[in-house]
Structure 1
Amino acid sequence: MTENNLPDQKSIIRIVFSKNNVVLISTIVIFLLFSIFADGFFSTRNIVSILRSMSIIAVIGFGLTFILTMGEIDLSIASVPALAGCMIPFLLNIGLNPYLIILIALITGLCVGIISGLIVSYTDLPGIIITMAISMIVSGIAYIISDQTTKVVSNEQILSVISGSLGLFPLMAVWMIVFLFISYFILHKTKFGRNISFVGENKNAAFFSGIKIKTAYIITFGLAGLFSGAGGILGVGLASNASPMMITNSMMTVIAAVVLGGTSLTGGRGNIIGTLLGAFFLTLISNGFLILGIDQWILYLVNGITIISVLIIGYLEGGSLFRKNMKNLVFKKKFGGIPSTQSEQHHRSSN
């Protein structure tokens, strides 16, 4: 290899300090540091604990990745897991088959997502407002069916399917891998995945290219609801109980995992594997801090600083295009909606 073909110093620095590589390198470094300084961190029991905990964040994050890729946001991920989780003890008391209960809990999440998608797509109202309202309604339903209390789930059939193990490997991690493959295939290997990326990049251009925007919205929000419901079911497996407040406080952690993984906040680019890495990174920090006895508020500071740092790296790495997208995000939310009926009629008449 000639000297001219060797990468220069600036290119090496740019590669090493790219956003995705920074998260990966930071994860490796933090894992090694905790393994050295946190007693019991690098043990089979604790690694299993990390996998179980991160599975909830990752699965919900996979669904949110679809939403952000399309240039939207879904705040109902804060309450849909709680509703799906509370459905389990509620339906157990009725006497339904445990496996049917799990299916109903998943369908519940799917239906909530579809309702959000229908309202957002057919009204063109801001998704953040609609899903915030949906989140309140869903949370209220969760409180009603749970009698405003934490319900213990002790059914062995349900717990064995959700939180059992294959040897030393937890089933929660197996389910996470299953949802990983499903979401990766949908987003990166199908026409639908390419379509929602196009919608996130430029909604009007996507419409005039023939993409059915409303359908894309309904399916995408439906997927996010389904994955959130799955996250709630996994939450029941982790804690062996369900409450209307379960996983609610993890919403920002889920958003952080998706953003750290490289999914664009402005739409047009999603990264399922990156979301998995982001979930592992944040769970790693939380677990290590817990073992070291570090206060929770310090964890919040570290997570916040980490997210801001990664966004700044993306800002610098993306150049003028990234900066232009960030500056136009509010404009896009306000004016880049689904074309009106008049626009649709004009498009048909021009054809």
Structure 2
Amino acid sequence: MNPNTQLSSGNSVSLKQKVLPVWNQLGMLIILILLCIIMALFAPYFTEVNNVLNILKQSSITAILAAGMTVVILTGGIDLSVGSTLALSGVISVMLSNAGFPPLIAMLAGIGTGYFAGVINGYFTAVTKLPAFVVTLGSMTYLRGVAFVISGGLPLVLKNKFFIFFGAGSILGIPTPIYIMMVVYVIMFFVLKYTMFGRHVYAIGGNEEAARLTGIKVEKTLINVYSISGLMAGIAGVVMAGRVISGQPNAGVSFELDAIAAVILGGTSFVGGVGRIQGTIIGVLIMAVLSNGLTLLNVDFYWQMIVKGLVIVIAVLLDKLRN
């Protein structure tokens, strides 16, 4: 072999070894910053405080769903039911609030509904060994159906002001959903990085059989994983109900796709075992900034749908290239 070829190959490998770790750590953050700069240049209103707060507020629902989705995808699974879970949780919480239950009890019931839906998904995925795609596709359909049945197919107008505050209120000029989103991500960061459960999640995503042989209770962990996803969808459903001042059975349609795209854009691998919760919030913000910027530039909604679809494809492609 030509020595020059060997040297070139060695330099190439060395360059990849240096660049790839940096890209995996900071690549999406760089893209987010560049996207913000571009939008600021072409849409001056983009940088105004009210618009920045609006971006964070609008992205809070997707961010909460994506936090739960991150845990699921880290194990190599998927949860297609989060949008329907969001809708059912919102409908139940509003229905109970309007029936005279204390608002906190009504909201906890909605969140509990999401958690229970996640437990069911986890049981059928972990214990019966059914594919997560099939299980959550089925629950996506029946949960939406239950939301329509109990609401009579109509939105339920929310009347309690305390409940509304959690979705449409503000503290010190910052919308309440942003605070809720921040609390969720701080907790999830701690859980995934510093707890035994977090280490088990990564181990199962890396090699489920090896994790089982090392003594990890894989089935129990997976049930907890899908329960967390359902819990996050329940929280998102309650916040959404407060924000739109109603429980809507058709809320959250296609939100699962936004959540999945944000997770993959944030660097979590579709095959599991690799990813960070802080990457997910960057993925969420990339999609939110893109959507907000296109709206400010008066890009037609149908073209925005095309762009969003392309972003999802690119996210999966990036994941494949990383792997």
TM-score (norm. length: structure 2): 0.90
Listed one character per residue, the Cα deviations across residues 297-334 of structure 1 (whole Å, up to 9, x for unaligned) are: 32233333334444444444x4xxx2xxxxxxxxxxxx
Residue 128 of structure 2 corresponds to which residue in structure 1?
A: 123
Matched, 1:95 2:97: no
Q: Aligned partners of 1:190 and 1:17: how far apart in 2?
A: 26
Contact (CA 8 Å) 1:257, 1:282: kept in 2 or not?
yes
Letter in 1 for 2:153: Q
SS in 2 for 1:262: coil
SS in 2 for 1:264: coil
Matched, 1:58 2:63: yes
* Deviation (angstroms), 1:185: 1.1
Letter in 2 for 1:203: E
The aligned length equals: 311
Counterpart pick for 1:231 among 229, 233, 236: 236
Q: Which runs of 5+ in 2 are unaligned?
A: 1-12
* Deviation (angstroms), 1:189: 1.2
Q: Aligned partners of 1:136 and 1:313: how far apart in 2?
A: 30
Letter in 2 for 1:96: F
Q: Aligned partners of 2:275 and 2:232: how far apart in 1?
A: 16
Letter in 2 for 1:260: L
Residue 264 of structure 2 corresponds to which residue in structure 1?
A: 259
Q: Aligned partners of 2:15 and 2:314: how far apart in 1?
A: 20
* Deviation (angstroms), 1:43: 1.8
Letter in 1 for 2:27: V
Contact (CA 8 Å) 2:167, 2:244: kept in 1 or not?
no
Letter in 2 for 1:112: A
Counterpart pick for 2:300 among 295, 301, 304: 295
* Deviation (angstroms), 1:20: 4.9
Letter in 2 for 1:247: G
Contact (CA 8 Å) 1:258, 1:275: kept in 2 or not?
yes
Matched, 1:178 2:183: yes
TM-score (norm. length: structure 1): 0.83
Q: Compute the RMSD of aligned alpha carbons.
A: 2.0
* Deviation (angstroms), 1:153: 1.8
Residue 36 of structure 1 corresponds to which residue in structure 2?
A: 41
* Deviation (angstroms), 1:12: 9.8
Residue 342 of structure 1 corresponds to which residue in structure 2?
A: none
Matched, 1:273 2:278: yes
Contact (CA 8 Å) 2:46, 2:296: kept in 1 or not?
yes
Residue 86 of structure 2 corresponds to which residue in structure 1?
A: 81
Alpha carbons of structure 1 residues 178 and 223: separation in structure 2 relative to 1, 3 Å? same
Residue 217 of structure 1 corresponds to which residue in structure 2?
A: 222
* Deviation (angstroms), 1:166: 1.3
Q: Aligned partners of 1:216 and 1:206: how far apart in 2?
A: 11
Letter in 1 for 2:66: G
Residue 145 of structure 1 corresponds to which residue in structure 2?
A: 150
Correspondences of 1:162-201 after superposition (within 5 Å): 162-201=167-206
Q: Aligned partners of 1:69 and 1:250: how far apart in 2?
A: 19
Letter in 1 for 2:215: G
* Deviation (angstroms), 1:23: 2.0
SS in 1 for 2:269: coil
Letter in 2 for 1:300: M
Alpha carbons of structure 1 residues 93 and 307: separation in structure 2 relative to 1, 3 Å? closer
Listed one character per residue, the Cα deviations across residues 259-316 of structure 1 (whole Å, up to 9, x for unaligned) are: 0001110011231001111111101111111121101232233333334444444444
Alpha carbons of structure 1 residues 140 and 311: separation in structure 2 relative to 1, 3 Å? closer
Residue 248 of structure 2 corresponds to which residue in structure 1?
A: 243
Matched, 1:202 2:231: no
Letter in 1 for 2:282: L
Letter in 1 for 2:187: I
Q: Aligned partners of 2:76 and 2:169: how far apart in 1?
A: 37
Correspondences of 1:13-52 after superposition (within 5 Å): 14=19, 18-52=23-57
Q: Aligned partners of 1:212 and 1:9: how far apart in 2?
A: 40
* Deviation (angstroms), 1:11: 5.8
Letter in 2 for 1:95: G
Q: Aligned partners of 2:165 and 2:274: how far apart in 1?
A: 37
Q: Aligned partners of 1:163 and 1:190: how far apart in 2?
A: 33
* Deviation (angstroms), 1:40: 2.2
SS in 2 for 1:57: helix
Contact (CA 8 Å) 2:261, 2:315: kept in 1 or not?
no
**Deviates most, 78-87 or 153-162:** 153-162
Q: Aligned partners of 1:262 and 1:20: how far apart in 2?
A: 8
* Deviation (angstroms), 1:161: 3.1
Letter in 1 for 2:195: T
* Deviation (angstroms), 1:92: 2.0
Listed one character per residue, the Cα deviations across residues 244-266 of structure 1 (whole Å, up to 9, x for unaligned) are: 11111222111100000011100
